[in-house]
């Protein structure tokens, strides 16, 4: 193995030895690419400022980047504390005009809108500061007369792009009269869909604001939804808030009382492209590095085999931390309904690299898309937090041919990855075939933790808690809308402490199988202290045909409340979207798969039987243990030890077990069966044992 050394104090004329390190990545790659075999780049402690993407390809196969000490890949600028001036009322300011950078805008963003880069943000001592807003927390509900004009409605094929006009707090609007880059944010219609849209006009006389675009998603503004207004210098009043005047190039901020502004490290994010792009490379790794302060994402992986990101920390990232697989070009706002229909004059979209764009819309329209995520890639032992729009896109695998990728997210911790976008931007978004999320700790998120598309993924040994804290009609783990997305296994997960935050809305749950989702298996999981409102721990919106067995459900209200009253056969043959997704016979048409093909028929005979013969159990069979306030089945529940102390729930009746078995054989999981209620709660211990670096 050849070893090179890289140092902030090195020289590119050096040899790259320990005593004569190089200074730039360009120099070390030039030397490494000239050699065969395994190569290791030892990165000495220090801060490495990024302004351009570090591009790696097949020339860099078998190259490993290893931190020696505290190494920071920094996409930002460290500000000069000597330039801090007093402004007023405890607010400080810094002139940024000499930086010569593009600060960006907050941008129109939210549920089913294209991913957009964050604007430049302020971080003090590596802690993200809050963009000045009103109100400081939560939202203000619209009153019925506040909806002056809800704007055009793409859901009804209204592609006129008429903006919305809404009545807000009249006294506040007077203060905002001169605001140039304010945004109307919140939940314009549904509690599962957030949005942030620029305010184009502030009418002080009538007390209204008009947006520059219509609300994008399927529904109009409603009087039971709510708003906040962000990016206002006029509302910079509280400690920890900031505002960047992008026209005058001045930063305003109010530091917390415990911050010494003379000694503190003040940074703003600047880089507006991915920091590291690994394209077509194999056996490349990054170990022990902190990625921070970028307006875009940190790492992009496309194609290749066996790349590993391990023991790294991702913080203060503008979009998501890691993207495995392609995104899609952004759709034009107001000219699509987010469900595959577009205005006649809308531009078509296509796969793109190094950005997410309209990824969610593309996979909705082209459900069999292989986003070229490569295979056998691993994100492991990492901490991912304080991102703008999610954690990891875990792509890879071909749905048409059911070729697994074997990519995984393993033993990572996620928290607070939704600073700018709250919904549909989970900690891990899984797509493709045969990928795994295991032994992860995921907590403190406003909406879902894991969202799935594709086939044959495994979600196991994860500890998920205090998620869906803001959204409703959602779950910690979510999937749905495609009856060919089957074969997933959810086992040995510990999902706990969830509560419906919007009492007037539908509810929350541990696992949400939405809109006719069928044929997946959930077993050996532990659900604890879930107050779902109208949802049980596992919830369907129609669908059903789920194998749900050998789970423990402790102090969850309600416990099991399935909705499996739909007819999947009718849906597959009458709904245009469902029809396309299950029976697209052209291999070049990515609209869906063909469940009648020999490959799919052999893999999922029960799905074929439903499609051809309307074969289905009349109702799903559940065999689980439900406990409410009674803990004699466990060793020491009072102190959190839910190891099983007694044999509970074994069927007393041979026929009952046979029915359980028949149900699972129909669904194709005979090899996964274990006797009912022999849950091995060492799995909970394994979850905790693996997360040795856990923050909580």
Does residue 288 sit within a domain? no
Instruction: Tell me the C-alpha distance between 510 and 513, whole Å.
Output: 10
Average pLDDT over residues 94-121: 96
Query: What average pLDDT does range 315-335 have in this prediction?
Result: 95
Which pLDDT belongs to residue 563? 57
Three-state secondary structure call for residue 401: coil
User: Which residues fall within 8 angstroms of residue 455, CB to CB, at 6 or more apart?
Assistant: 397, 399, 402, 433, 434, 484, 485, 486, 487, 488
Of 41, 69, 97, which residue is a domain's last?
Answer: 69
Domain-embedded: residue 695: no
Give alpha helix (H) positions in 144-279.
170-175
**Mean confidence (pLDDT) of the chain:** 88
Task: Domain count for the chain, please give it.
Answer: 4
User: Mean pLDDT over residues 607-630, rounded?
Assistant: 75
Lowest mean pLDDT among 485-499, 564-578, 588-602: 564-578
- Spatial contact of 596 and 583, defined as CB atoms under 8 Å apart: yes
User: Taking residues 130-150, what's their average pLDDT?
Assistant: 91
Are 483 and 578 contacting, i.e. CB atoms less than 8 angstroms apart? yes
Mean pLDDT of 413-428: 97
The token duo for 657 is 């077990």
The answer to whether residue 397 scores a pLDDT higher than 70 is yes
What is the pLDDT averaged over residues 142-166? 88
pLDDT of residue 303: 98
At residue 564 the predicted structure's pLDDT band, cuts being 50, 70 and 90, is: low
State pLDDT tens for residues 164-181: 999 998 889 999 999 999
pLDDT at 412: 96
Q: The domain spanning residue 64 has which CATH number?
A: 3.30.1910
**Distance between CA atoms of residues 489 and 614, nearest Å:** 24
- % of the chain residues with pLDDT over 70: 88
51-60, 148-157, 550-559, 561-570, range with greatest mean pLDDT: 51-60
Per-residue pLDDT band at 626 (split at 50, 70, 90): confident
Question: Are the CB atoms for 61 and 280 separated by under 8 Å?
Answer: no
Q: Is residue 633 part of a domain?
A: yes
Tens of pLDDT, residues 466-505: 999 999 889 999 999 899 999 999 999 999 999 988 877 7
**Predicted confidence band at 217 (pLDDT cuts at 50, 70, 90)?**
low
Which pair of structure tokens corresponds to residue 124? Answer: 């003090």
Condensed to tens digits (0 to 9), the pLDDT of residues 14-50 reads 999 999 999 999 999 999 999 999 999 999 999 999 9
Q: What is the pLDDT of residue 548?
A: 82
Last residue of a domain, one of 415, 442, 471: 471
- 90 plus 11 within the same structural domain: no
The helix/strand/coil state of 461 is coil
- Pair (135, 19) in one structural domain: no
Between CA 649 and CA 469 the distance in angstroms is 32
pLDDT tier for residue 694 given thresholds of 50, 70 and 90: very low
Q: 636 and 537 in one domain?
A: yes
52 and 91 in one domain? no
Residue 387's nearest CA partner among 412, 408, 411 is 412
Shared-domain flag, residues 544 and 578: yes
With cut-offs at 50, 70 and 90, classify the pLDDT of residue 629.
Answer: confident
Backbone angles phi, psi at 81, to 5 degrees: -60, -25
Tell me the residue range of the domain where 647 lies: 508-689
Query: pLDDT band at residue 659, thresholds of 50, 70 and 90?
Result: very low
SS3 content of the chain, % helix, strand, coil (to 5): 15, 35, 50
Q: What is the mean pLDDT of residues 543-547?
A: 74
Tell me if 551 is assigned to some domain.
Answer: yes
The average pLDDT across 107-122 equals: 95
- Torsion on CA atoms 40, 45, 51, 52, rounded to nearest 10: 0
pLDDT bracket for residue 277 (50, 70, 90): very high
Alpha carbons 308 and 306: distance in angstroms, whole number: 6
List phi, psi (to 5°) of 553. Answer: -125, 105
Domain shared by 65 and 85, yes or no: no
- Per-residue pLDDT for 670 more than 90? no
Per-residue pLDDT at 581 exceeds 70: yes
62 and 175 part of one domain: no
Closest CA to 463 of 520, 508, 528: 528
The answer to the question of residue 143 being in a domain is: yes
Rounded to 5 degrees, what are φ and ψ at 654?
-60, -40
**477 DSSP β-pair partners:** 450, 511
Question: Residue 617 has what pLDDT?
Answer: 55
Q: Which of the two residues, 692 and 80, has the higher pLDDT score? A: 80
Lowest mean pLDDT of 137-151, 461-475, 619-633, 663-677, name the range.
663-677
Domain boundary among 410, 443, 471: 471
C-alpha to C-alpha distances, 649 to 398, 623, 627, nearest whole angstrom:
40, 8, 11
Task: Identify any residues that bridge with 134 across adjacent strands, giving them in sequence order.
Answer: 229
Token look-up 């069928």 returns 518
226-248 pLDDT, tens digit per residue, is 899 999 999 999 999 999 999 99
State how far the Cα of 44 lies from the Cα of 10, in Å rounded to an integer: 10
Are 29 and 103 found together in one domain? no
Say yes or no: 432 and 574 in one domain: no
The pLDDT, as a whole number, for residue 35 is 96
Are 176 and 166 a contacting pair, CB within 8 Å?
A: no
Residue 520's pLDDT band (boundaries 50, 70, 90)?
Answer: confident
Q: 236 and 94 share a domain? A: yes
pLDDT at position 649 is 39
Domain membership flag for residue 96: yes
Please give the Cα distance from 375 to 91 (Å, whole number): 50
- The answer to whether residues 159 and 306 belong to one domain is no
In a domain, 292, yes or no: no
Q: State what percent of residues in the chain have pLDDT above 90.
A: 70
Query: Is 620's pLDDT higher than 80?
Result: no
Q: Residue 382's closest CA among 287, 293, 304, 494?
A: 287
453 and 541 part of one domain: no
Is residue 489 in a domain? no
pLDDT at 627: 78
Residues in the chain: 696
């Amino acid at each position: 193995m050849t070893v090179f050394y890289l140092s902030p104090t090195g020289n590119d004329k050096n040899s790259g030895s320990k005593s004569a390190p190089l200074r730039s990545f360009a120099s070390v790659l030039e030397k490494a690419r000239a050699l065969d075999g395994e190569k290791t780049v030892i990165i000495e402690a220090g801060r490495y400022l990024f302004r351009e993407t570090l591009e790696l390809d097949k020339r860099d196969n078998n190259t490993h980047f290893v931190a020696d000490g505290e190494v920071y890949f920094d996409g930002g600028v460290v500000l000069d504390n000597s330039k801090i001036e007093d402004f007023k009322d405890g607010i400080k300011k810094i002139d940024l005009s000499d930086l010569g950078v593009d600060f960006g805008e907050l941008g129109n963003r939210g549920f089913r809108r294209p991913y957009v880069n964050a604007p430049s943000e302020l971080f003090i001592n590596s802690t993200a500061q809050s963009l000045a807003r009103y109100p400081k927390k939560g939202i203000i509900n619209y009153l019925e007369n506040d909806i002056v004009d809800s704007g055009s409605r793409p859901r009804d094929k209204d592609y006129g792009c008429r903006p919305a006009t809404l009545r807000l707090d009249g006294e506040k609007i007077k203060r905002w009269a001169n605001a140039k880059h304010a945004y109307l944010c919140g939940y314009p219609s549904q509690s599962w869909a957030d949005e942030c849209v620029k305010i184009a006009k502030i009418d002080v006389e009538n007390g209204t604001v008009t947006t520059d675009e219509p609300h994008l998603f399927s529904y109009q503004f409603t009087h039971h939804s709510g708003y906040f207004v962000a990016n206002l210098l006029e509302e910079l009043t509280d400690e920890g808030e900031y505002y960047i005047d992008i026209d005058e190039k001045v930063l305003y901020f109010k530091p917390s009382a415990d911050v010494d502004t003379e000694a503190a490290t003040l940074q703003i994010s600047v880089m507006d492209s991915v920091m590291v792009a690994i394209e077509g490379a194999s056996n490349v790794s990054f170990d022990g590095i902190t990625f921070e302060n970028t307006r875009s994402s940190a790492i992009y992986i496309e194609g290749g085999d066996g790349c590993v990101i391990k023991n790294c920390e991702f913080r203060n990232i503008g979009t998501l931390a890691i993207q495995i697989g392609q995104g899609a070009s952004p759709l034009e706002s107001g000219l699509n309904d987010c469900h595959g229909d577009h205005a006649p004059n809308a531009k078509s979209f296509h796969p793109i690299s190094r950005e997410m764009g309209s990824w969610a819309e593309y996979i909705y329209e082209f459900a069999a898309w292989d986003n070229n995520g490569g295979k056998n890639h691993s994100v492991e032992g990492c901490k991912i937090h304080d991102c703008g729009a999610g954690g990891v896109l875990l792509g890879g695998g071909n749905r048409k041919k059911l070729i697994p990728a074997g990519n995984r997210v393993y033993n990572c911790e996620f928290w607070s990855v939704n600073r700018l976008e709250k919904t549909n931007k989970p900690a891990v978004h899984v797509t493709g075939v045969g990928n795994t999320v295991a032994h992860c700790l995921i907590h403190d998120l406003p909406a879902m933790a894991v969202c799935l598309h594709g086939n044959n993924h495994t979600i196991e040994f994860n500890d998920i808690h205090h998620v869906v804290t803001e959204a409703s009609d959602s779950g910690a783990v979510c999937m749905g809308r495609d009856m060919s997305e089957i074969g997933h296994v959810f086992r040995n997960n510990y999902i706990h402490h969830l509560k419906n935050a919007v009492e007037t809305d539908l509810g929350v749950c541990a696992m949400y199988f939405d809109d006719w989702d069928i044929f997946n298996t959930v077993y050996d999981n532990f659900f604890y202290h879930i107050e779902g409102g109208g949802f049980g721990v596992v919830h369907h919106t129609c669908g059903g045909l789920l194998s749900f067995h050998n789970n423990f459900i402790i102090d969850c209200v309600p416990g099991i409340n399935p909705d499996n009253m739909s007819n999947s056969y009718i849906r597959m043959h009458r709904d245009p979207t469902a029809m396309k997704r299950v029976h697209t016979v052209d291999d070049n048409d990515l609209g869906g798969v063909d469940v009648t093909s020999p490959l799919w028929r052999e893999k999922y005979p029960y799905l074929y039987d439903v499609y051809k013969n309307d074969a289905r159990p009349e109702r799903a069979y559940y065999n689980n243990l439900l406990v409410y306030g009674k803990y004699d089945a466990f060793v020491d529940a009072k102190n959190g030890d839910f190891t099983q102390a007694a044999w509970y729930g074994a069927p007393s009746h041979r026929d009952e077990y046979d029915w359980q078995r028949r149900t699972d054989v129909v669904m194709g999981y005979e090899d996964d069966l274990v006797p009912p209620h022999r849950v091995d709660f060492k799995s909970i211990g394994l979850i905790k044992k693996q997360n040795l670096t856990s923050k909580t």
